[in-house]
Amino acid sequence: MTAPVSVQLLDPRAKLPAYGSPDAAGADLYALTDGPAAIAPGETVLIHTGIALAIPQGYVGLVCARSGLASKRGLAPANKVGVIDADYRGELMVALHNHGAVPQVIENGDRVAQLVVVPYLAAQFTRAEALEATQRGAGGFGSTGTK
């Protein structure tokens, strides 16, 4: 299944998102920098991509970490998963956070995150005096065990 997403290149050096393999769910997003972008340990830096998107109505763009960048270099989106709403038309930027102990450098053209476009359901929230009981109930944060 595909969803048409129009992409505006805001800079001639910008790259279209691209899938790394035929069955990849996430399309790579590329850094657009004027030079090396240093990210100190514990620091978050906004990385430009130079693109704007028109996500179709009824869909959302999710900006997710690239597993190799996160596991090997400690770099991942600061907000864990960025949400791009269908009505947003500004530049897509990635708030990249350095979770590691050593400084990291992002170069122009580096793959910094991946974009997953998925349909969503809008919830209709209604007030309730009580909620239906479940086996789990109000237990949270590990209440179902570790194994």
Per-residue pLDDT band at 99 (split at 50, 70, 90): very high
- What does residue 58 show for φ and ψ, rounded to 5 degrees? 90, 0
Select the more confidently predicted residue: 1 or 9: 9
Strands (E), 1-147: 6-9, 18-19, 27-30, 37-39, 44-54, 59-64, 75-77, 82-84, 91-98, 104-106, 111-119
pLDDT value at 2 more than 90? no
Question: CB-based burial of residue 110 (10 Å sphere; 0-12 exposed, 13-18 middle, 19+ buried)?
Answer: buried
Q: In whole angstroms, what is the distance from residue 64 CA to residue 3 CA? A: 18
pLDDT value at 145 more than 80? no
pLDDT score at 18: 98
pLDDT score at 133: 93
What would the pLDDT profile of 30-89 be if each residue is shown by its tens digit?
999 999 999 999 999 999 999 999 999 999 999 999 999 999 999 999 999 999 999 999
Work out the number of other CB atoms within 10 angstroms of the CB of residue 82: 18
**Which domains does the chain carry?**
6-119 (2.70.40.10)
pLDDT value at 126 more than 80? yes
pLDDT value at 136 more than 90? no
pLDDT value at 143 more than 90? no
Judged by DSSP in three states, 60 sits in: strand
Task: Calculate what percentage of the chain has a pLDDT beyond 90.
Answer: 89
CA dihedral 116, 56, 83, 112 (to 10 degrees): 40
Question: CB-based burial of residue 88 (10 Å sphere; 0-12 exposed, 13-18 middle, 19+ buried)?
Answer: middle
Q: In whole angstroms, what is the distance from residue 109 CA to residue 15 CA? A: 8
pLDDT score at 135: 86
Judged by DSSP in three states, 48 sits in: strand
pLDDT value at 26 more than 80? yes
